[in-house]
Chain A
Amino acid sequence: MKHVYGWLLLTPAAILLVGFTHYPAAATLVDSFFSTGTAIRPSRFIGFGNYALLAEDPIFWKVLGNNLWFALGTIPTSIALAILMAVWVNDRLPARALVRMAYFTPTVLPMIAVANIWLFFYTPQIGLVDQFRALFGAPSHNWLGDPGTVLACLMVMVIWKEAGFFMIFYLAALQSLPPELEEAAKIEGASRWHFFRRVMFPLLMPTTLFVLVNATINSFKLVDHLFILTKGGPDNASSLLLYYIYQVAFSFFDTAYASTLTVVLLALLAGLALVQFHLVEKRVHYR
C-alpha cells in the first residue's frame, strides 16, 4: 500500500518531467537519425546521415571552435576574478556591503539588459570605449563588426556578468572558513599569499569544482546576448553552438539537423562534466 501512495505523490512531477524533459530528449536523439520531413518528402530513416553532414559542415566547426575559445577565454578569468573579489570583499573594509552589492549587480541583470548596456559601450564613435580611445587620439573602431575583435568583446562582457555571480559562492565558502585558520597561519609566520595558496585555495576546491561545472555549462548555454549584439555575425565569427542550433531549427527549419547538433552539444557537455569531476575530485578536499 505504501508504494501506491508513493507513486501517487510522484506522479504529477513525473508526468511533467517525462513530458517536458525525458521525452523531448529521447525524441531529439531519434530525430537525429531521420531526415527532415517536408510536405512532399516525408521524413525517413537515414542512419548516421545527419552526422556525416555535420562532420563536413564548415559552419559547425567554426561555431564549435568559437565556443571552445569562448569557454577558454571566459571560465578561468571569471573564476580568478571571482576569487579575487570574494577575498577582497570578505576582508574588513569600509562600506563592505556596498562593494559586495556593486559586484553582485551584474548578476541580477537579465542577459538581454546586459547586452543592451554593452552595446552602448561598443558602438563605434559614440560608444564608451571609442569615446575613451578618442581621448588618446585613437581612431574609431567597429568592435562588434570586426571578426577579429567581436568574440573577445563578448568574452569581456560575459566575464563582467559571471564573475559577480561566482563571487557569491566563493564569499559563502570563505565565510564558512574559521578565522582561527588565518590567525594560526599568521602566528606560524605564513604570508597572506602563502596562506591563500596553501590553505584557502585548497579549502575552496569544492566551490571551485561547482563553479567550474556551472561556468562550463553556462558558456554553452548562455547565448541571449547574441540576439541583441551580433546575431552570430559577422560571418559567424561570434556564433556559438546553441545559437547555431537555434538558427538551424527556427530560421532554416532543418529540425533533423538541429537535433543532431543538439545531441552533439549534450554529449560534449556530459563529457566535459565527467572529465572535470574526475580530474578535480582528486585534488578536492571534502570535509
Chain B
Amino acid sequence: MSEIVLEEVSKHYGAVRAVDGVSLRAAAGKFLVLLGPSACGKSTVLRLIAGLEEPTQGRIFIGGHDVTRLEPDKRRVSMVFQSYALFPHLSVAENIVFGLKVRRTPRPEREERLARVATLVGLTEVLARKPAQLSGGQRQRVALARAIAAENKICLMDEPLSNLDAQLRHGMRVEIRALQQRLGMTVVYVTHDQVEAMSMADRVILMRQGRIEQEGAPEELYAQPATMFAARFIGTPAMNLVALADGPRGATIRGAPETPVLAGPGAGRVLGVRPEHVALTGEPGVPGSVASAEYHGADTILEVRVGDETLFVRAPGRRELGPGARVRLGWKPEAPHLFDAGSGVRLDLNQTLPQPA
C-alpha cells in the first residue's frame, strides 16, 4: 500500500531541467537510495514525492493512487529535512507531536506515541529541552522521531546525516536502517555519499543531471556499472579508468605498448578496474612505477604510473614502496570492465575477444 511510482516525471525551472523524465518505483517496505553528485536533482525528486513541488510533466502514484496534484498533507508521507527543520521555540516533545496535534490525535494516544517514539530513538532524557540545547545527533533523532510519530508508512529523507561527524554518521546509519526494517517503512533516502548508499539501500538509483543513470541493488552497481560515470561514482578509491590503444598482440594501456591487457582492438575503449582488484604481481604483469604511496592502516593505496595513465592500487597491509619503485600489476580475468570511450557505455568483455576465423 506504500509503493511509490514515478512515471516520466520532469521538473523544469525555466531552462534548468532539475528532473528530466524520471521513472522509478520504490517498492513497499524497501529502502531506496537516490544517489548522485550535487545538483543532479535528488532533492527535487524527493520534494516532488512529498508534494512540495508540482511536476512540470509526468505522474506520481503513492499506494496506487495518483497523487500528482495532491497537497502534501494529504499524501501521508513523513519527511526528514537535511537541516532537520525543527521548530526552535518548541520543546523536543512538542516538536515530535506537532503533527499529531495538527491532526487532532486524542491526548492519551499522543502521549503514548510520544513515549514510544522517544524510547525508540533514545530521546526520553531530553524531551523538555529546546532544539538549540541538543547536539547535532540528537537533533537528527528529533527529526526522525517526528517523522516516525506520524506513523506514515512512507518516510522521505534528504541527506539527514550530512551534518554529522563520521562516527555519529555510522551509528545513525545503522539505527535508521534497523528502524526502517523494524517498522516496515518505505524509505526514499537521498545522499551523495556512496558509502551510505551501499550500506543502507535495498535498491540504489544513481542520478546524473536530472536523469537516472543506473538503477539496481548496491552489489549490481558495484559489480556491473552501466557507464563510466557509475563506475567512477561507486567505490573508494574510484575505479581506475584507463584509455586503451591498439597493440600488435591485443589492446594495451596507452603509452605502455609492451604488455597487452586485453585481446582485441584497444582504440576508442576504456578499461576499468577497481583498485581493490589490482594486485602487485611478478612477470608477466603490466610494468609501472610508483608515484606515491598512502598508508591507510588496513591497506596502502599506491599510485602507479603505467605508460601515460595512472592506476590506483589497494594493496593490503603496509607497503614500503617509495616513489620511483618499479612494480608489476595484475588482475583476475573477470575483474576488468570495458567502456566505450565516446559514449561511456559499458561494453561486453566478450566482444573484445578475437573472433574465430
* Contacting residue for A188 out of B51, B52, B73, B83, CB 8 A: B73
Which residues of chain B are within 8 angstroms of A178 by Cβ–Cβ distance? 83, 85
Which residues of chain A are within 8 angstroms of B102 by Cβ–Cβ distance? 185, 188-190, 194
Determine how close the nearest CB of chain B comes to the CB of A173; give it in whole angstroms.
Answer: 13
Asked if residues B87 and A181 are in contact (CB atoms below 8 Å), the reply is yes
Interface stretch of the complex, out of B74-82, B176-184, B196-204: B74-82
Determine how close the nearest CB of chain A comes to the CB of B297; give it in whole angstroms.
Answer: 39
Q: Is A285 among interface residues, defined by CB-CB distance under 8 A? A: yes
Asked if residues A188 and B85 are in contact (CB atoms below 8 Å), the reply is no
**Interface set, chain B 184-206, CB cutoff 8 A to A:** none
Which residues of chain B are within 8 angstroms of A187 by Cβ–Cβ distance? 50-52, 72-73, 77-79, 99
Q: Is A202 among interface residues, defined by CB-CB distance under 8 A? A: yes
* Contacting residue for A186 out of B73, B78, B150, CB 8 A: B73
Please report the C-alpha to C-alpha distance between residue A203 and residue B88 in the assembled complex, in whole angstroms: 8
Asked if residues A189 and B103 are in contact (CB atoms below 8 Å), the reply is yes
**Interface set, chain B 78-100, CB cutoff 8 A to A:** 78-79, 81, 83, 85, 87-89, 98-99
* Contacting residue for B81 out of A180, A189, A287, CB 8 A: A180
Asked if residues B85 and A181 are in contact (CB atoms below 8 Å), the reply is yes
Q: Is B164 among interface residues, defined by CB-CB distance under 8 A? A: no
Determine how close the nearest CB of chain B comes to the CB of A139; give it in whole angstroms.
Answer: 52
Which residues of chain B are within 8 angstroms of A199 by Cβ–Cβ distance? 87, 89
Q: Is B168 among interface residues, defined by CB-CB distance under 8 A? A: no
Chain A residue nearest to B89 (CB atoms) is A285
Determine how close the nearest CB of chain A comes to the CB of B138; give it in whole angstroms.
Answer: 17
Q: Given A178-B85, A203-B89, A287-B88: A186 and B52 within 8 A (CB)?
A: yes
Asked if residues A183 and B81 are in contact (CB atoms below 8 Å), the reply is yes
Chain B contact-residue range equals 20 to 34
Asked if residues B98 and A185 are in contact (CB atoms below 8 Å), the reply is yes
Chain B residue nearest to A195 (CB atoms) is B102
Determine how close the nearest CB of chain A comes to the CB of B74; give it in whole angstroms.
Answer: 8
* Contacting residue for B88 out of A194, A198, A285, CB 8 A: A285
Please report the C-alpha to C-alpha distance between residue A188 and residue B78 in the assembled complex, in whole angstroms: 7
Please report the C-alpha to C-alpha distance between residue A16 and residue B272 in the assembled complex, in whole angstroms: 77
Q: Is A184 among interface residues, defined by CB-CB distance under 8 A? A: yes
Please report the C-alpha to C-alpha distance between residue A202 and residue B95 in the assembled complex, in whole angstroms: 14
Q: Is B70 among interface residues, defined by CB-CB distance under 8 A? A: no
Which residues of chain B are within 8 angstroms of A203 by Cβ–Cβ distance? 88-89
Q: Is B132 among interface residues, defined by CB-CB distance under 8 A? A: yes
Chain B residue nearest to A203 (CB atoms) is B89
Please report the C-alpha to C-alpha distance between residue A185 and residue B52 in the assembled complex, in whole angstroms: 11
* Contacting residue for A180 out of B85, B132, B146, CB 8 A: B85
Determine how close the nearest CB of chain A comes to the CB of B78; give it in whole angstroms.
Answer: 7
Against A, the Cβ 8 Å flags (1 = close, 0 = not) of B39-58 are 00000000000111000000
Which residues of chain A are within 8 angstroms of B78 by Cβ–Cβ distance? 187
Chain B residue nearest to A181 (CB atoms) is B85
Asked if residues B87 and A188 are in contact (CB atoms below 8 Å), the reply is no
Asked if residues B73 and A202 are in contact (CB atoms below 8 Å), the reply is no
Q: Given A178-B85, A183-B85: A189 and B79 within 8 A (CB)?
A: no
Asked if residues A287 and B72 are in contact (CB atoms below 8 Å), the reply is no
A-B contact pairs, 22 of them (CB 8 A): A180-B83, A181-B87, A183-B52, A183-B81, A183-B85, A184-B79, A184-B87, A184-B146, A186-B71, A187-B52, A187-B72, A187-B79, A187-B99, A188-B146, A188-B150, A189-B73, A189-B103, A194-B102, A199-B89, A203-B88, A287-B88, A287-B132
**Apart from A187-B52, A190-B102: 18 A-B pairs, beta carbons within 8 A:** A178-B83, A181-B87, A185-B102, A186-B52, A187-B50, A187-B73, A187-B79, A187-B99, A188-B98, A188-B103, A188-B146, A188-B150, A189-B102, A190-B98, A199-B87, A203-B88, A203-B89, A285-B88
